[in-house]
Amino acid sequence: DTGVSQDPRHKITKRGQNVTFRCDPISEHNRLYWYRQTLGQGPEFLTYFQNEAQLEKSRLLSDRFSAERPKGSFSTLEIQRTEQGDSAMYLCASSFQGFQMNTEAFFGQGTRLTVV
Amino acid sequence: GEDVEQSLFLSVREGDSSVINCTYTDSSSTYLYWYKQEPGAGLQLLTYIFSNMDMKQDQRLTVLLNKKDKHLSLRIADTQTGDSAIYFCAESMNYGGSQGNLIFGKGTKLSVKP
């Protein structure tokens, strides 16, 4: 396994356009997380999934944002009608949570979004 | 509310020890973490400590936890130029012990001078 993979690595889009990012977690990891990191800040939690169920959404996740994990494996994060304030690094992480074992979160390298 | 605070910058000479400090507010956090981020790279987990421990040592890294003061520190012994990066302190949101629901500090930029 090569770790958490995110695609694309960079995205430049015009304001008002929709964008979609993909995250492939470490296989067998049942939890998947999305974070946003703006310049000079630490990552901020957006949402997470347990298998295909979205269990928590931050208030940072406006109604222009939607995340899915339809088969409990890869996930997509879509931003509709992008705004300049959406420019950030979007990080994905995965972990395993079980009855007798749980692992730390492993992060991908992120997708850097620039809205012009 | 929940918050994690760190100093923003630290500069040391190669070979010296570095100590990065962090304070947190949520006393119910199960785990506390140190992540490293190099330019253009994702977050790399360095080490973590369970909340019922006072200290954890892993090669050049020593983590100290003072639960009473809600203070966490990371000591890097024999700091090398390759240790130059941003170091993030994070606490778990304690959602059933999940290790991925995290609150991060703003990061401490460590500069190592030769």
Mean pLDDT on A20-32: 95
pLDDT of residue B2: 64
- Cα separation values, A84 from A79, B34, B93, Å: 12, 31, 29
Nearest CA in chain B to A31: B100
Tens-place pLDDT, residues B45-84:
999 998 888 999 999 999 999 999 999 999 999 999 999 9
Indicate whether B96 pLDDT > 80. Answer: no
Residue type, A81: R
Strands B18-24, B71-76: pairing is: antiparallel
CA distances to B23, B27, B32 from B63, in Å: 13, 17, 10
For residue A47, give how far its alpha carbon lies from the nearest alpha carbon of chain B (Å). 9
| pLDDT at residue A29, as a whole number | 92
pLDDT, position A1: 54
A2 vs B contacts (CB less than 8 Å): none
Half-sphere exposure of A44 (CA within 13 A, CB side): 16
Mean pLDDT confidence for B26-53: 87
Q: Do A43 and B102 touch (CB under 8 A)?
A: yes
| pLDDT for A60 | 82
pLDDT above 90 as % of chain B: 69
User: Cβ(B43)–Cβ(A3) under 8 Å?
Assistant: no
How far apart are alpha carbons B86 and B34 in whole angstroms?
A: 10
Specify the pLDDT at position B1. 54
